[in-house]
């Protein structure tokens, strides 16, 4: 069983401590890689870089740095990518990024920037032999004209050099299976790893889902009903819900899971334990 974990760069010292406690807890499970997200704007760019650099220096896990096209010229993005290569990072999660005006606005590329995710993948590949992962949207991207267009875009990203896709999170596995069928029908053979979000906080997850165009089924809302002030039961329910989802995917033959950790380890650690993962020999992380 393979797993990978996604983290976001911390904004405060306290968040940094939480992140590193989580990385140190999850690292012994020997994930295939851990990825660090990237927001628009310079500050996040530096925080992503600093987090990835610390993972390289202090652990033996392989980091994947997310990179987007938003708000920067292609030479600036190339410069960030080169700086990753120089510190030993070989894996980039290449994304277009959300429109600067926010989700729902139309995306306008920087006048001297990469026009879209496909152009970014091609640009990165021409810089160095990065391993490139891209996104996939089992329920369709909120801006997509049709499923067909999304799959065309995924194919274009693969033709440009992507070798793996990670999906937006979803709660109904049927949605993922249908999407895989459509991809196979179109000749897509790269791994399409399911992105799993353990519901640490239902309200927050529902907000994210709305922005991401992911459906929150009624049964899921009902499971968390009345638990706003009961974090202990919420955690138990969250573990049960995630285990159900993951085991249904295992039954269908899925062997790699990408967990959106929200920088918290406990729930993800428990699910990985259920999946049979056990701590391996120590990493460089203290
Ligand atoms: P794209 O592949 O660019 O597709 C987006 C939409 O544009 C689709 O509807 C597609 O059909 C359309 N499109 C793309 N190219 C073309 C074209 N040539 N012609 C016509 N239509 C086109 N955001 C961040 O800011 N930072 C992150 O670190 C981050 N990490 C993410 C990780 C994962 C696994 C996922 C699933 C999403 C992540 N996002 C992140 C969110 C992502 O940036 C947004 O969803 C963004 O709106 C789309 O970028 P994309 O590369 O995922 O999609």
Is 185 inside any structural domain?
A: yes
* Residue 71 and residue 101 in contact, taking contact as beta carbons nearer than 8 Å: no
Structural domain contains residue 72: yes
pLDDT at residue 183 in the model = 97
The dihedrals phi and psi of 280, each to the nearest 5 degrees, come to: -100, 180
Write out residues with Cβ below 6 Å of ligand 1.
37-39, 66, 68, 93, 95-98, 116-118, 135, 141, 143-144, 149-150, 153, 166, 168, 195
Instruction: Name the token pair of 268.
Output: 């993800």
pTM of the model: 0.96
Percent of the chain with pLDDT over 90: 87
- Residue carrying the six token digits 């004209």: 145
Confidence of residue 100 (pLDDT cuts 50, 70, 90): confident
pLDDT at 103 over 80: no
Q: What is the pLDDT of residues 2-17, one digit of tens each?
A: 999 999 999 999 999 9
**Distance of CA 192 from the midpoint of ligand 1 (Å):** 15
Please tell me the distance from the alpha carbon of residue 31 to that of residue 220, in angstroms, as a whole number. Answer: 28
Residue 285 included in any domain: no
Domain total for the chain?
1
Full domain range(s) for residue 63:
2-274
CATH code of residue 108: 3.20.20.220
Asked, for residue 194, whether it belongs to a domain, the answer is yes
Task: Answer whether residue 279 is part of any domain.
Answer: no
* 105-130: pLDDT as tens digits: 788 999 999 999 999 999 999 999 99
pLDDT band at 41 (very low <50, low <70, confident <90, very high): low
As given in the structure block, the two tokens for residue 253 are 């033959």
pLDDT at 45: 86
Residue whose CA lies nearest to ligand 1 atom number 49? 96
Distance, CA 111 to ligand 1 centroid (Å)?
18
pLDDT at 148 over 70: yes
Rounded distance, CA 227 to CA 235, Å?
A: 10
Looking at the domain assignment, is residue 233 inside a domain?
Answer: yes
* The pLDDT of residue 285 is above 70: no
Q: What is the pLDDT of residue 39?
A: 85
Q: What is the mean pLDDT of residues 196-212?
A: 93
Does any domain span residue 286? Answer: no
Kindly state whether residue 283 falls inside one of the protein's structural domains: no
SS (H, E, C) the chain: CEEEEEECCCCCHHHHHHHHHHHHHHHHHCCCEEEECCCCCHHHHHHHHHHHHHHHHHCCCCEEEEEECCCCCHHHHHHHHHHHHHCCCCEEEEECCCCCCCECECCCCCCCCCCCHHHHHHHHHHHCCCEEEEEECCCCCCCCCCHHHHHHHHHHHHHCCCCEEEECCCCCHHHHHHHHHHHHHCCCCCCEECEECCCCCHHHHHHHHHHHCCCCCHHHHHHHCCCCCCHHHHHHHHHHHHHHHHHHHHHCCCCEEEEECCCCCHHHHHHHHHCCCCCCCCCCCC
* Cα–Cα distance measured from residue 100 to residue 71, given in angstroms and rounded to the nearest whole number: 7
Reported as a pLDDT band with limits 50, 70 and 90, residue 75 is very high
Closest CA relative to residue 117, chosen from 147, 79, 150: 150
So which residues are the catalytic ones? 6
């Amino acid at each position: 069983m393979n797993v990978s974990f996604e983290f976001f760069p911390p904004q405060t010292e306290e968040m940094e401590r939480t992140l590193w406690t989580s990385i140190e807890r999850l690292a012994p499970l020997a994930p295939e890689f851990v990825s660090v997200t990237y927001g628009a704007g310079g500050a996040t760019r530096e925080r992503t870089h600093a987090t990835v650099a610390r993972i390289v220096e202090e652990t033996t896990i392989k980091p994947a740095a997310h990179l987007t096209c938003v708000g920067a010229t292609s030479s600036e993005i190339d410069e960030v990518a080169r700086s990753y290569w120089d510190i030993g990072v070989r894996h980039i999660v290449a994304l277009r990024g959300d429109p600067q005006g926010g989700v729902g606005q139309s995306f306008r590329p920087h006048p001297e920037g990469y026009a879209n995710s496909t152009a970014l993948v091609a640009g990165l590949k021409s810089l160095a032999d990065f391993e490139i992962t891209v996104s996939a949207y089992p329920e369709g991207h909120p801006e997509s004209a049709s499923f067909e267009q999304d799959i065309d875009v995924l194919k274009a990203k693969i033709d440009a050099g992507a070798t793996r896709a990670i999906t937006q999170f979803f709660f109904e596995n049927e949605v993922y299976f249908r999407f895989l069928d459509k991809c196979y029908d179109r000749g897509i053979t790269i791994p399409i790893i399911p992105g799993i979000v353990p519901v640490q906080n239902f309200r927050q997850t529902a907000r994210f889902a709305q922005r991401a165009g992911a459906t929150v089924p009624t049964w899921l809302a009902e499971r968390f009903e009345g638990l706003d002030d009961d974090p202990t039961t919420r955690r138990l329910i969250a573990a049960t819900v995630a285990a159900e989802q993951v085991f249904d995917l295992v039954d269908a033959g899925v062997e790699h899971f990408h967990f959106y950790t929200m920088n918290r380890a406990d729930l993800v650690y428990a699910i990985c334990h259920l999946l049979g993962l056990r701590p391996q020999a120590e990493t460089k992380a203290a």
